Structure formats: C-alpha cells, structure tokens
C-alpha cells in the first residue's frame, strides 16, 4: 500500500497538459470554486457533480493548477489499493492472496496511468470497491451509501451494483439464514442506495431547464448493438487496453492463462464459498466485457477502469493458488520477488507518461501557450473554434480575454466570414482535419495568414480577412 501511494503521488506533477475531457471537468470545478454555483447551472454538464466538488475543494486548498486538479485522483487511486487489500482479506482470509492483489493493483501500469488524471472513473471505482468491501462484511447500509456516492461520481458506477450484491450475499450468508434474512439485508442496501440516487435526481431537477442526466444519456449511451464488421476491431481494441493491465502484454497474457486454468479447477469446487466467489467475480468481468464489446459503446480505455481492480484481485487469487503447489518456501518467495520486479519495471512507461492509456500525454503539448497567446496578443478578438473548446475552457481561464465561437462545419465558417466584412481568427490543431476548413475558406475568397504556432507544432492560429466586394 505504501508502494502504491509513493508511485501515485509521484505522478500529479507530470509536465503534461490535460486531455479534453479532463480540461472540461477542471474548468467546471474551477467555476464552482470561484463562483460558488453549487448547482453548476452554467456548466455544460453530462456527469454527476461529486468529483467536481472534490476538485473544486482541491482548488480552494491549493489554488487552481493542473497539479491541484490531479491530486484528488492520485489519493483516491491509492485508497483503492488499500480497500482491494481489505476486500481480498475479507473474501479469502488469506494474507498471501491479499498481498498479491495489493501488489498487482499498486504496480499496474493501467491503474497508474489514470492516477494523475481528472477522469471521473477513478473516484467512482473507489466508492464501488469500498461498497463491495462493506457489503462483504455485512455492512449493507454503509455499502448502499458508498454505492450511491459512486453513482454521484459517475453514473456508470451503477454497473458495479450486481457485483456488490452477489459478493456480499455469498460472503455473509450463513447456513442458518433464511430468505427473509437475505431480503432484510438487501432492502437495507437498496433503501440507502435509492435515497442517495433520489437526492442526486433532486439536485438535477433543481438545475432545470438543464439536466446532466439528459446530456449523459445523449452523449454517452449507445442505442444499438454493433455491426458484424465491428466485431473484430472492437475486440482488438478492448484486448489492447487489457494488455496494459499487468504491465507488458506478455505478462498480462500469462496472468490471463493462469487465471483461466484456476477458474477451470474451481469449477469442480463450486459448492465451496471461495470457489463461488471466484466465479462470481469472473462472471461479472465477462459480462462487463461482453457488454462493452457487443453494445456500441465508445472503445475508451477508461471504461475498463471499474473492472480492473477486481480483475487484478482475481489474478492475485490465481497466483496464490499456483504458489501453493510450488515446492519450497524459497521458490515461492523468488516467484513473488520476480513478479514484483517485473511489475515495477513495466510500470516505468506509466511513470514517465509514455503509456498510451489515460490520455496521450504529448498530444496537447502547447495548448497552454496557445491560450496565453489568445489572451494577450488577441485580447478582445473573436476566435473561431471547432476542436479545442473543452481544452480552452480551462486554459483560457475563468474570464478569457477573447470571445470563443464554435463553428460546426467548414462551410458555415466560410459563409460567416464572407458576409461579416471583418477580421477574425481561427484556432485549430495542425492536423489533416484542418484541411477541409482551409479549403472552404479559400473557395470563399477569405484571406488567411498563420499568425501563431505553438511549441511542438500541435496548434496554430490563422488570421482571417473577409474578401473585398466591389
């Protein structure tokens, strides 16, 4: 747990810019911190508010900065390692299983990559892991409260409710218990959870006519199953993200094979509580992965974050089973030390910000200097944008010196410039997606001149002069 804390607290100071989603969340939290608008009526909000409140508190304590935005997730990610240790101990009552589960979570490059982020998945996963532990100890009311807080962090935390209930029931049910006893426990859990969700809905209703629930559904929930030509590409994408779970794809594959063999062995022992717990976690993981694969969700790497700690705990269980059959204490110790060394080595890319998980740490290099240029050199100007609104919402500050105007299509921008008879600007990434926009402006006779390029060459600003009409 100390190793996990040290690794995660070394990450928030990483010199990298925020991913667009992170920048949007940080901008909303800054607005809450500076204005006290607890209902966030001005925010284009499609997420629940809990993580924004936490980030706003961090801003109040440490000031507005990327570091302050990242610190809360680093702390919650560290706490997740601790609660997974406790959960494994509660379920399996084996110090070795608990140790291996904690080591895998502490050093997982996938989990480390998300620690220095502002994504809502990290805090939602902490609350669900805590709820699972509480339910496994028979603390059903507290588990319901923790699950409600998870949903208040991110609505997809509700995916974890079946796992909370099943593991809680399997671990706490005694032979003398009746169905009525189980029903009382579940009613206590459901009652507190329902009350928490009701309060969240009331908070959303108080924002009328704005609703994060409506935007969350419109932006993030698919309405179809995947097509046949998407089967393999989507499976490959999810497999690629899973390959970073335990470091190298080779080690992740080795753990997957070991886990498969362990689960096959446990099939013959399903009457035992520990084997039933193994298969409950495995079935939950397969159901989540199957849903993400076959329903047309975006293949975002962070969608696996809720599943990752439980999958690693199950891998720790399989590793402990393998170690139990190895001859000699020194051989078992050597395997554990070798595993720890491999995990620590494979975590180095995540510590350097080089892992292609958790947001590309170099893709937004220079966005801060772009924002500084707009605020200083172009103060008072109208700047068109199609791609960078979420990032600039944070980096321009709470009171930007320019007016940022979103343009949906190249032709709309060309038509407006052709009609306005004025000078304005276009901020854009220097990539192939800019070409249709420049082509549309040329066809409309708009004069263009590149007036700024960010360090690293990722972003540029173009001065636009309307065509002259005789």
Q: Tell me if 149 sits within 8 A of 196, measured CB to CB.
A: yes
Q: Is the pLDDT of residue 153 over 60?
A: yes
- The whole-number average pLDDT for the span 417-434 is 89
Q: Directed axis angle between helix 50-62 and helix 66-92, to 10°?
A: 130
Q: What angle do CA 200, 202, 203 make, to 5 degrees?
A: 65
Q: Is the pLDDT of residue 175 over 80?
A: no
- The whole-number average pLDDT for the span 384-412 is 94
pLDDT at 32: 94
pLDDT at 308: 96
201 Cα distance to chain centroid: 22
Distances (CA, A) of 255 to 52, 234, 250, 258, 317: 36, 22, 9, 5, 11
- Residue 118 to residue 25: CA distance in whole angstroms: 7
Q: Is the pLDDT of residue 249 over 90?
A: no
Q: What angle do CA 317, 323, 328 make, to 5 degrees?
A: 160
Type and span of the H or E element at 404: strand 403-406
Domain 367-465 has CATH 3.40.190: yes
**Which alpha helices (DSSP H) does 137-272 contain, by range?**
140-153, 161-172, 179-205, 212-220, 231-242, 249-267
Residue 38 phi/psi, 5-degree rounding, is -65, -20
Reply yes or no: is the peptide bond before residue 381 cis, omega within 30 of 0. no
pLDDT at 252: 87
277 against 420, higher pLDDT: 277
Distances (CA, A) of 353 to 17, 125, 146, 218, 421: 11, 22, 31, 32, 46
* CATH 3.40.190 intervals, the chain: 367-465
Q: Which of 293, 428, 283, 420 is nearest to 366 (CA)?
A: 428
- Residue 29 to residue 40: CA distance in whole angstroms: 9
Residue pLDDT, tens place only, 258-272: 999 999 999 989 889
Q: Is the pLDDT of residue 405 over 60?
A: yes
> Which pTM value belongs to this model?
0.94
- Residue 173 to residue 165: CA distance in whole angstroms: 12
In sequence order, what are the beta bridge partners of 426?
A: 384, 462
Token readout for 462 is: 């173009």
Q: Directed axis angle between helix 20-35 and helix 50-62, to 10°?
A: 70
Q: Which of 16, 15, 12, 7 is nearest to 109 (CA)?
A: 7
For 417, residues 6+ apart whose C-beta sits below 8 A from its C-beta are 424, 441, 444, 446, 464, 466, 467
Band of residue 469 on the pLDDT scale cut at 50, 70, 90:
low
């Amino acid at each position: 747990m100390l190793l996990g804390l040290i690794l995660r607290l070394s990450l928030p100071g990483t010199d990298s810019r925020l991913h667009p989603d992170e920048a949007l969340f940080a901008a909303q939290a800054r607005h809450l911190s500076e204005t006290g608008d607890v209902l966030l009526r001005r925010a284009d909000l499609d997420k629940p508010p809990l993580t924004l409140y936490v980030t706003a508190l961090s801003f109040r304590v440490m000031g507005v900065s990327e570091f302050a935005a990242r610190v809360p997730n680093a702390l919650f990610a560290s706490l997740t390692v601790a609660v997974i240790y406790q959960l494994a101990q509660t379920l399996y009552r084996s110090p070795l299983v608990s140790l291996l589960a904690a080591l895998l979570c502490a050093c997982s490059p996938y989990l480390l990559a998300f620690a220095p982020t502002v994504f809502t998945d990290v805090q939602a996963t902490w609350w669900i892991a805590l709820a699972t532990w509480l339910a496994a100890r028979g603390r059903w009311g507290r588990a319901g409260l923790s699950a409600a807080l998870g949903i208040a962090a991110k609505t997809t935390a509700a995916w974890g409710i079946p796992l909370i209930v099943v593991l809680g029931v399997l671990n706490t049910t005694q032979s003398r218990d009746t169905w009525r006893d189980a029903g009382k426990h579940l009613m206590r859990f459901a009652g507190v959870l329902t009350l928490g969700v009701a309060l969240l809905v009331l908070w959303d209703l108080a924002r009328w006519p704005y609703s994060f629930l409506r935007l969350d559904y419109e932006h993030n929930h698919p309405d179809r199953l995947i097509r046949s030509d998407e089967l393999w590409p989507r499976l490959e994408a999810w497999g690629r993200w899973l390959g970073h779970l335990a470091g190298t794809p080779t080690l992740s594959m080795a753990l997957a094979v070991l886990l498969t063999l362990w689960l096959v062995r446990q099939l013959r022992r399903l009457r035992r509580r520990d084997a039933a717990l193994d298969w409950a976690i495995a079935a939950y993981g397969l159901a989540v992965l199957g849903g993400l694969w076959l329903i047309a969700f975006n293949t975002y790497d962070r969608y696996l974050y809720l599943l990752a700690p439980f999958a690693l705990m199950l891998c720790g269980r399989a590793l402990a089973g393998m170690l139990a059959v190895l001859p000699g204490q020194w051989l078992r110790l050597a395997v554990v030390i070798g595993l720890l060394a491999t995990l620590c080595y494979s975590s180095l890319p995540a510590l350097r910000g080089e892992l292609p998980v958790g947001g590309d740490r170099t893709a937004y290099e220079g966005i801060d200097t772009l924002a500084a240029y707009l605020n200083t050199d172009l103060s008072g100007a109208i700047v068109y944008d199609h791609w960078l609104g979420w990032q600039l919402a944070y980096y321009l500050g709470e009171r930007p010196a320019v007016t940022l105007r979103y343009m949906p299509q190249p032709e709309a921008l060309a038509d407006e410039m052709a009609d306005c008879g004025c000078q304005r600007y276009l901020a854009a990434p220097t990539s192939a997606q800019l070409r249709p926009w420049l082509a549309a402006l040329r066809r409309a006779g708009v004069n263009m001149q590149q007036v700024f390029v960010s360090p690293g060459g990722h972003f540029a600003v173009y001065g636009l002069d309307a065509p002259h009409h005789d």
